[in-house]
Homo-oligomer: A and B are copies of this chain.
Amino acid sequence: MEVKNGSVEERIINASFHILEKEGFSGATTKKIAEKAGVSEVTLFRKFESKEKLISIAKEHYSTDFIEKLTEIFQYTPEISVEEYLTQCFNKLVNLTDNELTILKVGMEEVRDIPTDKKVFLRISETIIDELTKFFSLKIEQKELREINPSILALNMFSIMFESIILWKVYGKQPKYNIDRYTEDFLDIILNGIKSDNK
């Protein structure tokens, strides 16, 4: 489906998404969506054959955008050090606006009804884990990292970085430390391990 900039379709899609975030699927009524988009409900149904399809188009639209943004964040050049790369990634993640993170919130709710390969959260996790796996493989090749399983490391790093963000931005947990302190400490843990030296 091609959606032109500034078109009625686009306004409806945007409205759907913002109402979806605030009200959830069943709370996002076609009436509210039409109102927010500034069109009549009839127009909405002339453009989209059902509420279900509209919502799924809106999700698709926003999750594609978000995944693109994540892909940018996790891009790397071969020279960058692991520490620098991970610091940068995490800082950029934390600086995403609430608006940009909306899709994450919406994705966390998809615990049923949606086919596995369409679940936003799974698509996000796969994208990031793939990118991280490639990066860590390179760094193992370059001998900056020792011979560990790169895809398990990638899953761990994904977990650490995203779980903080999810707890904080999706579920509203107040963070205990400032970002710089937190980043420094978790990188120290991952880079150097936790065992004491005198053993």
Task: Tell me which of B82, B110, B194 contacts A190 (CB under 8 A).
Answer: B194
Copies of this protein in the assembly total 2
The dominant DSSP class at the A interface is: helix
A97 CB, min distance to chain B CBs, angstroms: 17
Known A-B contacts A109-B111, A194-B146; A116 and B152 likewise in contact (beta carbons under 8 Å): no
Contact indicator per residue, chain A 94-108, by CB within 8 Å of chain B (1) or not (0): 000000000001001
Q: A143: which B residues are within 8 A, CB to CB?
A: 196, 198
The reply to whether B111 and A108 contact each other, CB–CB distance below 8 Å, is yes
The reply to whether B122 and A189 contact each other, CB–CB distance below 8 Å, is no
Contact indicator per residue, chain A 156-178, by CB within 8 Å of chain B (1) or not (0): 10111011100100111100110
The reply to whether B152 and A189 contact each other, CB–CB distance below 8 Å, is yes
Task: Tell me which of B145, B149, B170 contacts A195 (CB under 8 A).
Answer: B145
Q: A23: which B residues are within 8 A, CB to CB?
A: 112
The reply to whether B196 and A144 contact each other, CB–CB distance below 8 Å, is yes
CA distance A162 to B146 in the complex (A): 26
The reply to whether B22 and A171 contact each other, CB–CB distance below 8 Å, is no
The reply to whether A146 and B109 contact each other, CB–CB distance below 8 Å, is no
A152 CB, min distance to chain B CBs, angstroms: 4
Which of A109, A164, A196 neighbours the largest number of chain B CB atoms within 10 Å of its CB?
A196
- Is A155 in contact with chain B by the CB < 8 A criterion? yes
The reply to whether A119 and B171 contact each other, CB–CB distance below 8 Å, is yes
Q: A105: which B residues are within 8 A, CB to CB?
A: 111-112
Task: Tell me which of B156, B164, B173, B193 contacts A191 (CB under 8 A).
Answer: B193
- Is A38 in contact with chain B by the CB < 8 A criterion? no
Q: Which 6 A-B pairs have the closest CB atoms?
A: A193-B193, A159-B163, A26-B26, A146-B196, A192-B193, A159-B159
